[in-house]
Structure 1
């Protein structure tokens, strides 16, 4: 029992370490790139940047105030444990935003601010998501939407919710250019966020139809340590029974799979498609939490 408790405490400590690192990265994106350049890239960050210019209240404080009702809504569907970790991330990131704001922007170039602000923001939020929480705000809304629409990638859900805020920023700031840079920012954010969150799990699903299926399968298993499955089929024209090779290879290994097939049978029929969700040994855990 004591050993089990020790493992749980270590897991919890690691989890909150990731929460802390992700929160600092997230806050740095807001305080050093986006907020000082009047870039409102959607969500609570964007709303807080807009309200900061209208009220003069600190952006970090506004982020916290807006998050409170959303946190209460989140506990209903996502549970108390989720809420506690998200409260920690929300309070800590808001505090760090206010702490870093006096240092001003790292760059006053709107293009650089929009691009690097989005990249840093995506990395911070993705780390928090992978650790099992959110940074509050529309992250909670996106998490709730993800429960309903599991087939839609998280970055795309962020893009849809953020677009509304960007349009509002154009109206409030009366500056189309700033709004367009903010729009660019959420596009970059959506791409980088999905790469950080899903990138290591993306792979190629490969079907190989060949007369030398045994040699190809053996080399793939021995040289690349990739599992191979035979799918039984039949040629429609020849009516001959065939064993079709099926395997899933991570992107970095796919060129080698292709090379093996080419070397063993240049006449092989190769079908390749992308796969973003693969569960089993070498890929995602069947019981891992969905983001």
Structure 2
């Protein structure tokens, strides 16, 4: 019963964090990017280009394009994205639809448009990247170019990351050939379009870097050595409550020549404070050594993605 309750609470937390991430993502577009006629990658970028050209709301394009892509993906990829992606698409569509009406225009003018396009590009890109990173870390996705990239990668030996980058670059460059209007209804000149493309590349870089920074930080692991006379009690608590493996090592104090037990624990950096509080509650005098590691591979952590040599040879043939 308790495990079922914890599972439900964990699920609710994940969906709330996905919604929070998408809120930050949409705020970046609504407050900083769209008011400055900026174009980025993904379906949101496609929606922005169509909005500047026709006035069709970004929410409409975002929903229609993602609906079509999800329908195709179900046939090509199978139900691999799951309910969280559908949830994310619906939430993002609703936010794109209603946030522009909720946020006063004078606030957008003061915050989003008064500090120049370059600053708006950087802030909007960072917010978009942070929001996407938070959603992805909880199992969500904004779909869009992710689906296209995965469908192409299924039949062609092209990395998903490169495919997403290629699509984003194509979306940004499309603003050169599509007639676009500014917020006052004036057509953009060629010089202004070139500036839009330049800012678009800066936006893609800021967004991608922030996503990588967030995800690498949330997945970073730490190695903990625990020296304590209450090692058995600490090991039981970490194993039962944290669901992390614990290794017991034999050690000898060189000065005292006494035999001791040392615990070795690998955990995510995000769980470090929880582990430290648990140890302190059992043995406030415990001696700890905490270090960041380059990578941890295996059950409960990351998968080894390097191909074996025989697999590479077969692929070359």
* Equivalent residue runs for 1:96-115 within 5 Å: 96-102=95-101, 103=103, 104=105, 105=108, 106-108=111-113, 109-115=116-122
> Across the two proteins, how many residue pairs are aligned to each other?
226
User: Which one is further off, 137-146 or 174-183?
Assistant: 137-146
Q: How does 1:13-162 map to 2 (within 5 A)?
A: 13-76=12-75, 79-80=78-79, 82-102=81-101, 103=103, 104=105, 105=108, 106-108=111-113, 109-142=116-149, 154=161, 157-162=163-168
Q: Determine if contact 2:150/2:160 at 8 Å carries over to the other structure.
A: no
TM normalised by structure 1 equals 0.65
- Residue number in structure 2 paired with 1:247: none
Deviations for 1:197-255, whole angstroms, at most 9, x for unmatched residues?
12344589xxxxxxxxxxxxx9xxx99x788xxxxxxxxxxxxxxxxxxxxxx9x758x
How big is each residue's C-alpha offset from its partner over 1:94-134, in whole Å with a ceiling of 9 and x where there is no partner? 11122222434332221011111110001111111111121
Residue in 2 that maps onto 1:186: 204
Q: What is the TM-score normalised by the length of structure 2?
A: 0.60
Structure 1 segments unaligned to the other structure (5+ residues): 205-217, 228-249, 255-274
Determine whether 1:284 maps to 2:301: yes
Q: Equivalent residue of 2:56, what SS?
A: coil
Shift of 1:21: 0.7
In structure 2, C-alpha distance between the alignment counterparts of 1:150 and 1:139, rounded to whole Å: 16
C-alpha root-mean-square deviation of aligned residues, in Å? 3.6
Cα shift at 1:75: 2.8
Contact 1:27 1:94 in 2 (8 A): no
| Aligned counterparts of 1:93 and 1:41: Cα–Cα separation in 2 | 16
TM-aligned CA deviation for residue 89 of structure 1: 1.0
Taking a change above 3 Å as real, the CA distance of residues 57 and 78 of structure 1, as seen in their structure-2 partners, is: same
Residues 9-48 of structure 1, C-alpha deviations (whole Å, 9 max, x = no match): 1221122111111111111111111112111101111110
